[in-house]
Amino acid sequence: MITPELLSILLLIAAYLKQGFALSTESLRTPPLTTKPQSGAVVVVGGGFIGSSFCAVYLASGKRVVCSDPFVSEADLKKRIETVWPTVRARGIGGKFDSCPTSPPFERLTFESSVETALRENPTQFVQECTIEDIESKQEVLGRLDELLADQPSTIISSSTSYIPHELLITKCKHHKDRVLVGHPTIPYLDSFLEIYGTSQTHVNAAQAWYSQAGFEAVVMKKTIPGHLFNSFLTMNMRHGNKLVKDGVCTPQDVNVVLRHLGRFMYARHGYLSLLSTIGGDRGLKGGLDLSAKIKMSAISIVFYSLLKKVLFFFKGSRVRRIADFMAKKLQDKVEPPPAQEWIEACGEFEAQVTKNGTLSVPTGLFQACEPMFQRTPYEVGNDPFAIEGPSDKN
């Protein structure tokens, strides 16, 4: 008779054996990948907005690029690259501005409408998939690429997908699922962010080395979620903005203004903690963390206070307040843990650097360190190309 306990032990053993087997077959099938920057051509599949943008960045970083797209002409692709080229040059690749020629080095670009020919004639270690964001279509394209590269298991196939989680991408890859990764950029010609997810550490390490050689700042996800990291933050902001508008707190234009300025302040190397450092005034990060904990606590406590006041009407207000504070503290610790210690330490070190001569306050030091960033984002009031035009703007 199989009891539930026995069943769960059996399932655990099965899962362990499966994992062990997967690891051992990976090491048999896949020749060792190097985390050293790879040479050779990169094949970009899809020559639309993101594909052409990747082509420009890869060309600027000195690579030979083969682009394949059955629905785009070579002339169109070149035109797109030419359009974004001045921006790529201006932002530099890996901080280098000089190595970028004034016009795109098209002698290093090959266009091939058929992906079969592109892969057959250009042995490659890296394929960047940039086709349309549609689950079925992505599954087909990635399955086909895996098939065409069946005898090259160490060739990485990295998908630019914005939202589709990895487990849905690889359903039609029959040969080497492990080398299919998420390699999601923001907009490569404008910005160097990139996020990676994969199930094989070897391939993930090699992809990270590859992307950093091309000037990307790549983060590796430990788990897969829809929208990955970047778009999950975007979705959260959008959802919150929509709710604020729906609740009548502000207008869509106001949300836009808030996010634009928030974006400008989330500038420095330690993200939102840097913002907290400036909010903390002369007490820096410590002051900012205290203040932020206090604000959140008060907000939760006020909710408890107003509820308890209705129930505990025979108690004094101050006593109800103490009970509400106690409950708020318990709830806050549970639902929103403080930032990780290593994060606080990293931000603390940054603070120490910018104030090292002891003559600067934390906010002044941070602003000075980040001034170049402010100079590059000159969105002054009334000069915002992304502003939503609302009735009030027309008046």
Ligand X SMILES: NC(=O)c1ccc[n+]([C@@H]2O[C@H](COP(=O)([O-])OP(=O)(O)OC[C@H]3O[C@@H](n4cnc5c(N)ncnc54)[C@H](O)[C@@H]3O)[C@@H](O)[C@H]2O)c1
CB contact at 8 A, 17 and 48? no
Using the minimum distance from each CB to ligand X, give the nearer residue, 38 or 160.
Answer: 160
Comparison of 235 and 306: residue with beta carbon closer to ligand X: 235
Residue closer to ligand X (CB basis): 76 or 325: 76
Q: Which residues bind ligand X (CB under 6 A)?
A: 45-51, 68-72, 115, 130-133, 141, 160-162, 184-185, 187
Nearest residue relative to ligand X (C-beta)? 48
CA separation (Å) from 274 to 328, 332, 346, 362? 26, 22, 10, 10
Enumerate residues 6+ apart whose C-beta is below 8 A from 123.
40, 41, 152
Q: Residue 60 gets which letter from DSSP?
A: H
- 8 A C-beta contact, residue 157 and residue 178: no
Least Cβ distance, residue 70 to ligand X (angstroms): 6
When the beta carbons of 168 and 327 are compared against ligand X, the nearer one is 168
Q: Which is nearer to ligand X, 358 or 385 (CB)?
A: 385
Cα within 13 Å of Cα(235), Cβ side: 10
Q: Which of residues 70 and 263 has its CB atom nearest to ligand X in the complex?
A: 70
Is the distance from CB of 125 to CB of 155 less than 8 angstroms? yes
Provide the CA 358 distance to its chain's centre, in angstroms: 35
Nearest CA-CA partner of 361 in 277, 296, 245: 277
**How many other C-beta atoms can be found within 10 angstroms of the C-beta atom of residue 55?**
30
Q: Which is nearer to ligand X, 208 or 274 (CB)?
A: 208
Q: How far is the CB of 189 from ligand X (least distance, A)?
A: 11
- Which DSSP helix (H) or strand (E) runs through 8? helix 4-29
Least distance (Å) between residue 117 CB and ligand X: 12
Handedness of CA 367, 368, 369, 374 (dihedral sign): positive
**Smallest separation (angstroms) from ligand X to the CB of 194:** 10
- Minimum CB separation of residue 165 from ligand X in Å reads 13
- State in angstroms the smallest separation of the CB of 145 from ligand X: 9
CB of 172 to ligand X, least distance (A): 13
- Cα distances from 389 to residues 242, 261, 393, in angstroms, run 16, 17, 6
Backbone dihedral angles phi then psi of residue 92, each to the nearest 5 degrees: 75, 155
Backbone angles phi, psi at 340, to 5 degrees: -60, 145
CA distance 352 to 158: 39
Q: Tell me how far apart the terminal alpha carbons of the chain are, to the nearest angstrom.
A: 79
Structure tokens, 51: 């594909």
Residue 141 CB, shortest distance to ligand X, in Å, is: 5
Name the residue nearer to ligand X (CB basis): 43 or 285. Answer: 43
Rounded to a whole number of angstroms, the minimum distance from the CB of residue 132 to ligand X is 5
Question: Is 115 or 279 the residue whose CB approaches ligand X more closely?
Answer: 115
